[in-house]
Amino acid sequence: MSARKPIELRQKSVLAGLLAAPTLFLAVFFAGPLGLMFIYSWLEPGLYGGVEWTFYDLSYGRIFGWADTRYEKFDPVYLEIFLRSVVLALQTSFFCLLICYPAAFWVSRLGERAKSLCLFLITLPFFVSLVVRLFAWVLLLRPTGLINQFLIGLGLIDTPLEIIFTETAVVIGMVYVFIPFMFLPLYASVEKLDASLIEASGDLGATRLQTFRKVVLPLTLPGIIGGSIIVFIPSLGNFIVPSLLGGAKVVMTGNLIEQQFLSARNWPFGAALGMTVMASVLLLLVVYVRLLGRDEMPAARIRSSEGG
């Protein structure tokens, strides 16, 4: 059978060949460690680091309400940290969106050469180490930093603003870091938006606001949601920005996980925290896919009714 379909066979084997390397790589280096972490999160932490190979659900208990009574009483501090991380990640996504949405429209209206230049500039920060760039923000934000000196010099304020080592500094830093992640998917959907649809809407009597609400926003929504998710997920687990710009005062889930692995040597608890973050992100993605899927439903229904 397959011998009589040499073209199809060849296409399939090429496809398999192309997929083999990434599949193997991800299986070994992504699924492996992840599975290991999942197992660790259900094991008892060893007294001096490492794990005891006995089932132990109290790492999750420590987060959700049934702590190991031998050592401590339940304290919802981890849930609070997690919720604060969610709030900061949401704020980061929101401000990234606020900055990138108009910018994406502006860039999409430029000529071809200016467009490519802008897209290059957007990715330019990746060429410099993240740590170096964040230390630059420390110089900008600290009490004797450029921003405070500038404002004092203008006579707008007398005493330096307390920006560094606050949640504000963390959000500023994360917005700065994640702007390219928001911009690119947003730009892709804005660029695809057919300008004649905006003209058609105006021609049919819609004001600019109506056109935005009824045509522009719905058609760029996939980019908005996509960009927000791509910013939200790494913001939620980020630990570099809060440790550099948040100091010891702002702890996010990412810092907590980092501490458990590197300082506290409580790998099971770190793994349990990591699994919790991942589970909530996955939940979010499922909701997103469901929301997107709902749009396609009417069309699918008509197709199936025509077929039947």
Partner 1 sequence: MAPLLEIRNATRHFATQGGAPVTALDGLSLTVADNEFVTLLGPSGCGKTTLLRAISGFEDLDSGDILIEGTSILDRPAHARPVNTVFQNYALFPHMNVARNVGYSLEVAGVSGAERARRVAEALELVGLGGYGERSVRQLSGGQQQRVALARAIVARPRLLLLDEPLSALDRNLRQRMQEELKQLQHGLGISFVFVTHDQEEALTMSDRIVVLDGGRIQQLGPPEDIYFRPENAFVARFVGESNLVTAHVLSRSGEEGLLEVAGGARLVLSGDRVVPGIDATLLFRPESVSVASGPEAAASEPGAAGLSLAGRLTQSSFTGSDYRLEIDVPGVGPLKATVRHLAQSSSGGLAPGEPVALHVPSAAIHVLAGPPA
Residue 273 near residue 260 (C-beta atoms within 8 A):
yes
Residue 199 as a binder of partner 1 (CB under 8 A): the answer is: yes
Residue 197 or 285: the one with the smaller Cβ distance to partner 1 is 197
Which one of 69-77, 83-91, 190-198, 261-269 is the stretch in contact with partner 1 (CB under 8 A)?
190-198
**Cβ atoms < 10 Å from Cβ of 181:** 22
Residue 109 as a binder of partner 1 (CB under 8 A): the answer is: no
Residue 30 C-beta: closest distance to partner 1, Å: 36
Query: Exactly one of 52, 80, 162, 295 binds partner 1 (CB under 8 A); which one?
Result: 295
Residue 2 or 305: the one with the smaller Cβ distance to partner 1 is 305
Residue 207 near residue 131 (C-beta atoms within 8 A):
no
The pair of structure tokens assigned to 197 is 């649809």
**Bridge partners of residue 51, in order along the sequence:** 45
209-228: contacts with partner 1 (CB under 8 A)? 210, 214-215, 218-219
CA–CA separation, 301 and 41 (whole Å): 44
- Sort 74 into a burial class: Cβ within 10 Å, 0-12 / 13-18 / 19+: middle
Residue 218 C-beta: closest distance to partner 1, Å: 5
Residue 28 or 110: the one with the smaller Cβ distance to partner 1 is 110
Name every residue whose Cβ is closer than 8 Å to that of residue 73 and which is 6 or more positions away in sequence. Answer: 67
Give buried/exposed letters for 217-246 (b at 16+ CB in 10 A, else e): eebbebbbbbbbbbbbbbbbbbbbbbbbbb
Query: Exactly one of 206, 240, 278, 281 binds partner 1 (CB under 8 A); which one?
Result: 206
Residue 22 as a binder of partner 1 (CB under 8 A): the answer is: no
Residue 265 C-beta: closest distance to partner 1, Å: 53
Residue 5 or 214: the one with the smaller Cβ distance to partner 1 is 214
- DSSP per-residue codes, 186-224: HHHHHHHS-HHHHHHHHHTT--HHHHIIIIIHHHHHHHH
Residue 206 or 284: the one with the smaller Cβ distance to partner 1 is 206
Interface with partner 1: number of residues (CB under 8 A): 22
Query: Exactly one of 204, 263, 290, 307 binds partner 1 (CB under 8 A); which one?
Result: 204
Residue 8 or 295: the one with the smaller Cβ distance to partner 1 is 295
Query: Exactly one of 2, 129, 196, 263 binds partner 1 (CB under 8 A); which one?
Result: 196
Residue 76 C-beta: closest distance to partner 1, Å: 43
Q: What is the amino acid identity at position 7? A: I
CA–CA separation, 149 and 139 (whole Å): 11
- DSSP per-residue codes, 228-273: HHHHHHHHHH--HHHHHHSTTT---HHHHHHHHHHTS--HHHHHHH
Provide the binding-site residues for partner 1, judged by CB under 8 A.
Answer: 194, 196-197, 199-207, 210, 214-215, 218-219, 295, 298-299, 302-303
